């Protein structure tokens, strides 16, 4: 296994996924849930993110080409999805635990597009394209698994923060997380629009 490549992939994906930055959003979405449901949401989100990243690493270019979808389109779609979630956080629609299913929260938006978002997918696809053999593939796979394990540890033990914040603190955190998530969504859409403009202007 190539230790240097492992380090590059690990650091790159860890910075993109940003586990500390994910924690406020995770707590905002799972705050009303029980500890058991929160733990289940954590591993479900990580498992889905791992599956999505692996699928795009193995067959990402082929899949997008078959569907005639450009990467900026995928990025814009992720941004629009995050805007919907951000609006729910800002308006307080996620405060009632009876109106949300743990699996739904874990899959969308936690698993994708927050963990397995356009940035992580594109970075993984680029590393795979630049790899030179089985040893590189093993290094990339090990780095992806290591990053997902790190994210799981952060989310799994974030429950202690919930006990400290109490319901009032969770409500404030939810609004802040909604604002941050809206900003992330707008940035994703802006980057996608810029990519489209650059792409089509170069063809003109």
Instruction: List pLDDT tens digits, range 155-197.
Output: 998 877 777 777 777 778 778 888 888 888 898 899 889 989 9
Question: E-strand spans in 38-150?
Answer: none
Q: What percent of the chain has pLDDT over 90?
A: 32
> For the ranges 15-19, 69-73, 166-170, which has the lowest average pLDDT?
166-170
Output 106 or 147, whichever has higher pLDDT.
147
Residue 124: partners with Cβ closer than 8 Å, 6 or more residues away = 9, 13, 53, 56, 57, 60, 140, 144
pLDDT at 98: 46
Model confidence at 97: pLDDT above 70: no
pLDDT at 96: 53
> For the ranges 3-12, 75-84, 121-130, 161-170, which has the lowest average pLDDT?
161-170
pLDDT in tens, 24-69: 889 888 877 888 898 999 999 999 999 999 999 999 888 888 988 8
Mean pLDDT over all residues of the chain? 85
From residue 82, alpha-carbon distances to 66, 110, 175 in Å are 25, 10, 14
What is the C-alpha to C-alpha distance for residues 192 and 155, in angstroms, rounded to an integer? 29
User: What's the sign of the alpha-carbon dihedral 144, 74, 61, 106?
Assistant: positive
Buried b (16+ CB within 10 A) or exposed e, 92-130: eebbeeeebebeebbbbbbbbbbbbbbbbbbbbbebbee
pLDDT, mean of residues 139-165: 89
DSSP string computed for 48-94:
HHHHHHHHHHHHHHHHHHHHT--HHHHHHHHHHHHHHHHHHHHHTTT
pLDDT at 84: 83
What is the C-alpha to C-alpha distance for residues 88 and 130, in angstroms, rounded to an integer? 40
**What sections of 92-117 are H helices per DSSP?**
102-105
The confidence band for 146, taking pLDDT boundaries of 50, 70 and 90, is very high
pLDDT at 69: 86
Surface-to-core class of residue 36, CB atoms within 10 Å of its CB (0-12 exposed, 13-18 middle, 19+ buried): exposed
Instruction: Provide the 3-class DSSP secondary structure of residue 60.
Output: helix
Output 195 or 104, whichever has higher pLDDT.
195
What is the C-alpha to C-alpha distance for residues 100 and 108, in angstroms, rounded to an integer? 11
Output 131 or 166, whichever has higher pLDDT.
131
């Amino acid at each position: 296994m190539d230790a240097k490549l492992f380090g590059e992939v690990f650091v790159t994906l860890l910075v993109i996924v940003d586990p500390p930055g994910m924690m406020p959003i995770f707590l905002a979405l799972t705050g009303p849930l029980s500890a058991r449901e929160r733990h289940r949401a954590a591993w479900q989100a990580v498992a889905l993110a791992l599956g999505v990243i692996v699928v795009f690493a193995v067959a990402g270019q082929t899949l997008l080409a078959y569907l005639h979808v450009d990467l900026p389109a995928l990025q814009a779609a992720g941004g629009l999805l995050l805007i919907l979630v951000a609006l729910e956080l800002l308006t307080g629609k996620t405060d009632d635990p009876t109106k949300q299913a743990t699996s739904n929260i874990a899959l969308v938006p936690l698993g994708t597009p927050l963990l397995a978002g356009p940035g992580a997918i594109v970075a993984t696809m680029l590393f795979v394209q630049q790899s030179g053999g089985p040893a590189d593939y093993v290094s990339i796979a090990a780095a992806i698994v290591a990053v997902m394990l790190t994210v799981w540890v952060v989310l799994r033990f974030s429950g202690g923060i919930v006990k400290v914040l109490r319901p009032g603190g969770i409500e404030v955190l939810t609004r802040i997380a909604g604002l941050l998530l809206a900003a992330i969504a707008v940035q994703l859409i802006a980057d996608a629009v810029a990519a489209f403009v650059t792409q089509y202007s170069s063809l003109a």
